[in-house]
Amino acid sequence: MKYSKLSIFAVAAAGLFSACTKLDQNPQSSLNGNDAVTEGNARILANGIYTRMEELEYYGRDFLIVTDLGGNDMKITSQNSNRFITEFQMNYTPLLAPQTNTFLNAYRVVNQANVLIDKLPETTTTATIKGEAYFLRALANFDLARRYTRPYTNVDAKVNEPNSGITLVTKATDVPATFKPGRSTLAETYAAIIADLKVAQQKAPDGLTTDAKANVFNATKDAATALLSRAYLYKGDWQLAIDEASKLINSNKYALYAPTEVANTFNADAPGSEDIFSLRFLTPNGRGSNNFGYMYVPSKLGGYGDIRLTDGFMALLDTKDVRKGFTQTLDGSNYLMKFSGNKAQGQVGLVNVKVLRISEVLLNRAEAYAELGNLQQATDDINTLRAKRGLDPFTDVNNIKAEIAKQRRIELVGEGFAMTDLFRKNGERNIADANALSTRKTGPTDFRVAFPIPQAEMDANPNMVQNPKY
């Protein structure tokens, strides 16, 4: 199937559940007679969505790495394996193949979720599975917005202009070959994401209870609440971000990692106390040397070591900060060891990917408090985090916004936030390290803040509009 002859949306809608081996014999059965979309198959179909999210060009590796390479904390030097250079140098074009696959896989998640939402009969058994589908559709749409549109609060975002958002696919596609949708506004995009998350808050399985650990490898009501706090923060709805974050923080169900846990928790096999939603990666789907953490682990320790920490990031670390345990200096370069590998799985760089953690939720609330002028409350939240990271209390209340930005960079490094955080706050990307490959300064109004729509979609879909200046 050639992308040049068929819209990516059509490709995404065809063979929806090919990631789910028990349905491979009839991958389009969900579209032809609904014989696969039954209560008996509901869990299998839902698991297929999680599997799709783990594709190499999505959460399996590329999505998080590319988003971090677009910030100020990561660099690529002349010692590299020829991966992600175009993205680091911000020379991407609509023809960049890995980004085409990220686009495709995210829309496959959307379409697989649509089939469950639209066609799965709702029973007491399937209602919560539909809730998971609403969450996963919202997450995929949010990720597409983060990659292919400007951040909502970016100085050059025109949130109500036509084609400023993503293509919203809200129904299962019965005739994929003729499906050629256009784009929404950015305001409509965020409204759809938030609406889905509100449904997930009602329908998805319960999160952590007082007597048992939630299955963090599946979507829950708590995961929807955590993602809502992020969506409202990115949209600039400060009080709503506070309200959603407070539901989780005040519940005391998710505890910040203890200082002794921080350095190793990302390489643990079992979920940690902060984890709200993660993706499970086991040896069969770890992809060997193509896995996520392999890009960070230095070659002397078994990885590629292509992606290294910038001098600017290292300068943020206090000597008391236990997060220094994430880093390792070797032969004059600083490496991120956050994802060095789950020892229980026995593969370098293979880790579970933590998508939502309570520390991010706490940082979301701190930022929203600061934006509303509640500087002491923002400082209190930051000091809650600092205490768990081995740091003394922060006392300069009038400079709390800068401290929040700093703590987000340190706490969330490598987790796919850097580029979004930089440009939603209208910062500048400038990596001046002597050993980094040359890369452009990029300000908040630069057209490269949003990636291009893949050329395959532009060629096949006359209703698609490219991002400006591509």
Q: 39-65 pLDDT, tens per residue?
A: 999 999 999 999 999 999 999 999 999
Within a domain: 288: yes
d(CA 191, CA 142): 11
**How many domains does the chain fold into?**
1
The predicted structure's pLDDT at residue 420? 98
Within a domain: 40: yes
**pLDDT of 228 over the 70 cut:** yes
d(CA 435, CA 422): 22
d(CA 322, CA 283): 29
d(CA 14, CA 385): 45
CATH classification of the domain holding 66: 1.25.40.390
Query: Predicted confidence band at 32 (pLDDT cuts at 50, 70, 90)?
Result: very low
Q: Average per-residue pLDDT in the chain?
A: 91
Within a domain: 209: yes
- 220 lies in which domain range? 3-460
pLDDT digits (tens, 9 = 90+) for 238-271: 999 999 999 999 999 999 999 999 989 999 999 9
pTM of the entire predicted model: 0.94
Distances 271 to 18, 216, 257, 292, 348 between C-alpha atoms, Å: 28, 7, 11, 18, 19
Within a domain: 245: yes
Within a domain: 465: no
The predicted structure's pLDDT at residue 11? 75
Within a domain: 468: no
**pLDDT of 4 over the 70 cut:** no
| 264 C-beta neighbours (distance < 10 Å), count | 16
Within a domain: 466: no
Cα-Cα-Cα-Cα dihedral sign, residues 179, 182, 183, 184: negative
The predicted structure's pLDDT at residue 287? 80
In the chain, % of residues over pLDDT 70: 93
d(CA 256, CA 301): 29
Helix, strand, or coil here: 50? helix
**pLDDT of 421 over the 80 cut:** yes
- Give the helix ranges, DSSP H, for 392-448: 400-411, 418-424
Within a domain: 470: no
**pLDDT of 67 over the 70 cut:** yes
